[in-house]
Amino acid sequence: MARFILRRLGLAVITLWLISVLVFCSIQLLPGNVGRSILGPLASPQAVAALNHKLGTDKPALTQYREWVTGVVKGDFGTSQKLQVPVRPQLTAALRHSFELALIAFLVVVPLSLIGGTIAALRVGTAVDRGITTAGLSLSAVPEFVTGVVLIAVLGIWLNVLPISAAWEPGAGPWTQFTHLLMPAIALSCVLFGYIARMARAGMVEALDSDYVRTAILKGLPHRTVIRRHAMRNALLPTITVIATQLGYLIGGLVVVEILFNYQGIGRLIYNAAQAHDVPMLEGGAIVVGGVYLLATLIADVLYSLLNPRIRHQAAE
Amino acid sequence: MSAIEAAAPTRSAASVQRHETLHVLARSKTFLAGATIVGFWVLCAIFQARFFQDPNALSVHQLASPSGSHWFGTDRNGRDTFARVIAGARDILEIAPAATLLGTVLGTALGLVMGYFRGIVDDVLGRLVDAVLSLPVVIVALLAIVSVGPSKQTTILVVGFVFTPLIARTVRSAVLSERELEYVSAAQLRNERAPYILFAEILPNVLQPVIVEFTVRLGYAVFTVATLSFLGFGIPPPSPDWGVQVADHYGFLSGGFAVWPVLFPSLAIASLVIGVSLLADGIAQGFDG
Amino acid sequence: MDDIRRTRSEMENHLIDEMIAGRITRRDFIRRGTVMGMSIPLISMIVAACGGANGSSSGSSSSSGGGTAKKGGTIRVAIIVPTGAINPLTVGDQGGLAMLGQTGEWLTIANPETLQLSGALADSWTSNADVSEWTFKLKSGVTFQDGTPMTSADVVYTMDMLSDSKGGSNALSVFGGVLDKGGTTAVDPSTVKFTLLAPNGNFPYLVSRDNYNAIIIKKGSDPASFEKTFMGTGPFKLEKYTTQVGASFVRNPTYWDSANAALPDRLEFTFYADEQPQIQALQGGTVDAIGQISVSGGRALLSDPAYTIIDVPSTAHRQVHMRNDKAPFTDKRVRQAMALCVDRPGIIEALFAGKAKLGNDSPFAPQYPSTDTSVPQRTQNISMAKQLLSDAGMANGFSVTLNTEKAYEIPDLALQIQSNAKQAGITVNILQQSPTVYYGDFTFGNSPWLDSTMGITDYAHRSVPNVLLGAPLLSTGTWNSAHFKNPGYDSLVKQYFGATDLQTQKGISKQVETLLLDETPIMFLYFYDFLGATKKTLAGVEITPVGQVQLAKAGFTA
């Protein structure tokens, strides 16, 4: 098990390094000149050159990259070129905000989709099953900004029950903050609902069909207990994987939802950095997002193998 | 000689299977529903210019509510939202399939190579694929588009490239099981060259997952292209693209203005992606059943 | 009257002559008098002596009205997030300049309504005969917020830094070709002399609040770390500044001008990335005022009686350039035709709900005293446009790409131009880019702004047209995106800069306006009003045409 985790960690580090190279290369293609974009059209060429020298953007790309990597290894993500503040505090604050939003989204979507999937599985082939499956399929296909906009129109404007922006006023209590985050969280959840419900349904159908569930039922255990104790657990397994693999989509969705609802999370940070051509901020954001994704996949894999004896056995081999 | 003998029965089997699949599709409600929705938008895209009013005509009636003269109301520039929603089908129906096709072609080639050669080629390419996949599609596309500037062509290229590793992954796993089969070893024994084995022998046999993957990806392509347009990195305005329409107006929602020019394009996007995914689901079921 | 005249300079006497002769109006006299450094009481005296009524009007719609502002309280303001560090040397954005204005002060202030100058940190100013040297007397007793007195040394330090042509100052847009490092010298601790690179009759405007970078900072202080202290001479001092989030300020208890100490106890600024969240914040009661709203975005507030809309006329505008050296615009008839296609009143109505003034294809906005308003206004004339096109051999029209930045109302303006041009058979293809891309490297050859055949560029408010006559239009101009090279124009503008009296300026303006109308290198379609919004219960908020939000005299009425 330890070897499995170590190997995965090693691969994750290589992947992170590759991400940094990819991002760095694409940034080299960005048009514009950092010093010029800070000083504006009037600054003399000397002043622009001096600022570029100070910021280090006049150094060869390879040197810049090496310095950046050395910094990151030591935990220093550099200084934002646009805002002239250290990148790290900005990243951590944004990441915390996004986590809060993602957490609420998960709290909304996981129980709902598990229940949905289970109900569908228990009524395989009926209209209820088809309804849930088709609704899930449709919801997961619709971009977050579309669901978000429809939610704003219906819940925010016509019914006027939820605030339409995620930005709350300074000093707002936890409950107010929660209400502000609810609509963006629902918009994020819609895409995930389809996937998780589908996986849960498949897992459940398989479990219900399995020998041990049949045995349990034959033994005369109450139907409800069988479902809760045996089948649910089986249905949960693929769900964990799906949550982990959909994390990339979740973070991509965060960009859109954070922009639509005006929320200062990691997605918005990356979006702003990309628009402002703020290299250290963009690099930092991409690494953090990649890191979070890889870590989550790793945790999901470990959890999966812990919960599933068959995989554990394979991993040991 | 033996190659022809080996190939012939496969081909006829494939055509029988195709016939059956079509039969299943024609009876699948999911497939038919999807096909109807997508077909509607395709017709809109083709015949918009002939039957509906100019989507770019300005008027002094800004942000009007739906009425007899403007069924879906008007936008901030007084343009007719209905005309723009109908016309908006065009760009996305050009870009999304083109991007998906590009991604499928590249991804299939990459997947074939990775699955067939395995070893170091697979490892190196696999890492690269993982690196791309661990960044959200939207962020990768955003980075790439900021670098080169938004246009229809860029969007097609970028979305196509982003989909390549995803498709490659699926094809690779199909090839992995396929390469163990006898017909591959037979071809290797005949000293066929690798490209021939890959594209003439293995490819026809993994075509089914490739087709399913194409239709599934098509849904994602619509999703991604619309999202990029919404973020301002996709189809550049003043195209009547749906994502652009939403992006241009969602800011006005708070005042209770502009619900219409936001809601209708949104519903159009929703209906198209749902249509495409129903279609994809129908096709996948068709192959399974 | 003769006593007054004896003590005044030759130029001031000339100005008085002009008014007596009726060549300039009383209003223009006041405006011009303030530039020459005549004090308001003196001006009133002269005006009275010449038979006019006292002309110093104080009522201005640039601040929110409705009741008297009460002292105390915290005023919460929403502004657009500053795009970079708050560095007086480099700030060039709306959010940043609004921040600078909280603790900083300038030598002079131009009244937004009347464009009349008054002293802020400067008490009085005079020039030599050819307006190439200006001497400013500073007010006595001015102190920085840490108690140190402000002297001429601080002014020299600030001005040298801002005017250094080898430096990276944003104020070079104003000082370029006018003042360089070393041009500012201290005569004594309370007197500063500016030796200009070229005569400039409008120089006192160039050190006014409109040159938002020109807040006086302490000698030896690093502008790059201004953000940490916000050390200035103003009525507020920094409490806390958080990058990207907001800032708070408290009343400066030791403000040098105790009679004008700030009314509010505290100011709280929250930064927003977009306009709509700010409007929501105002509607939701999270903030009391918004620094800037647009007509299209602020619709919800414009018609709501619960809010006061502060409407400040400004000379901010968009320039639509047509490259004189590139087909199809090499022929001036084609440029004229394009300008004749445009329905200016229609555009002002559609884009600004009427809150803008007509432009006449020159930088001379109707507000400038030196503008000759007798030059006929260009109006839409499609048949004449078609005639000009066919004379130029383009009877079937032509097709051109219009580069635009995705900012403000510019995308909508592009649509209007596209729709107008279509009537004369001209096909305009719109290419929309982000501002970063549009401006590119800001140098010829590396910037769609400067290289495109046709493009729309945003220009901020200026209280004198000097900058607008220079960089975008002179043959050597660094912002000359139209690639307009006209020796006749160049020499006219040189004369204008050196002109010492309004009558001469007006005479030159007429020639410039006529020449630009004929050549039409750039379309100036409108000069739009700067808008802010406050709660009805808030009075005394002053919004300047540049975009500063001045709150020293603001307070709640209830």
pLDDT value of residue A88: 92
- Residue C53 pLDDT greater than 80, yes or no: no
Instruction: Say if B157 is an interface residue toward chain A (CB within 8 Å).
Output: no
If you count them, how many residues does chain A have? 317
Cα separation, C508 vs C488, in Å, equals: 12
Looking up tokens 């083109």 gives B98
- Residue A52 pLDDT greater than 50, yes or no: yes
Among the partner residues A14, A157, A256, nearest to B259 by beta-carbon distance = A157
Instruction: Give the number of other CB atoms < 10 A from CB of residue A18.
Output: 18
Average pLDDT of span A212-228? 77
Cβ pair C404, C410 in contact under 8 A:
yes
CA-based torsion, A281, A185, B138, B153: positive or negative: negative
DSSP β-bridge partners for residue C290: C78, C533
State how far Cα C410 lies from the chain centre: 19
- Residue A303 pLDDT greater than 90, yes or no: no
Cβ pair C250, C551 in contact under 8 A:
no
- Residue A17 pLDDT greater than 50, yes or no: yes
**Terminal C-alpha separation, chain C:** 48
Judge if the upstream peptide bond of residue B238 is cis by omega within 30 degrees of 0.
Answer: yes
Average pLDDT of span B75-96? 90
pLDDT value of residue C55: 35
Cα separation, C231 vs C244, in Å, equals: 20
Cβ pair A294, A288 in contact under 8 A:
no
Summarize pLDDT for C270-292 with one digit per residue, the tens.
998 778 778 888 887 889 999 99
* Contact between chains at C277 and A83 (C-beta distance less than 8 A): no
Cα separation, C70 vs A314, in Å, equals: 77
Summarize pLDDT for A124-157 with one digit per residue, the tens.
888 888 888 888 888 888 999 999 988 988 888 7
Average pLDDT of span A175-187? 90
Q: Whole-number mean pLDDT of chain A?
A: 81
ipTM of the complex in this document: 0.81
Average pLDDT of span B276-285? 87
DSSP β-bridge partners for residue C109: C118
Lowest-pLDDT range, A299-303, B74-78, C380-384, C388-392?
A299-303
Average pLDDT of span C378-388? 96
Instruction: Say if B252 is an interface residue toward chain C (CB within 8 Å).
Output: yes
What is the β-pairing status of strands C549-550 and C399-405?
unpaired
B-chain residues within 8 Å CB-CB of A145?
226-227, 230, 243, 246, 250, 266
pLDDT value of residue C257: 92
* Contact between chains at B273 and A143 (C-beta distance less than 8 A): yes
Query: Nearest Cα to A269, choosing from A106, A104, A77, A105?
Result: A77
Cβ pair C228, C191 in contact under 8 A:
no
Q: Closest approach of chain A CAs to the CA of C131, in angstroms? A: 25
A-chain residues within 8 Å CB-CB of B227?
143-145, 256
* Contact between chains at B273 and A251 (C-beta distance less than 8 A): no
* Contact between chains at B236 and C276 (C-beta distance less than 8 A): no
Instruction: Give the number of other CB atoms < 10 A from CB of residue C320.
Output: 27
* Contact between chains at C280 and B254 (C-beta distance less than 8 A): yes
Reported pTM: 0.81
Q: Closest approach of chain A CAs to the CA of C274, in angstroms? A: 8
Q: Which amino acid is at C70?
A: K
* Contact between chains at C166 and A36 (C-beta distance less than 8 A): no
Cα separation, C363 vs C469, in Å, equals: 7
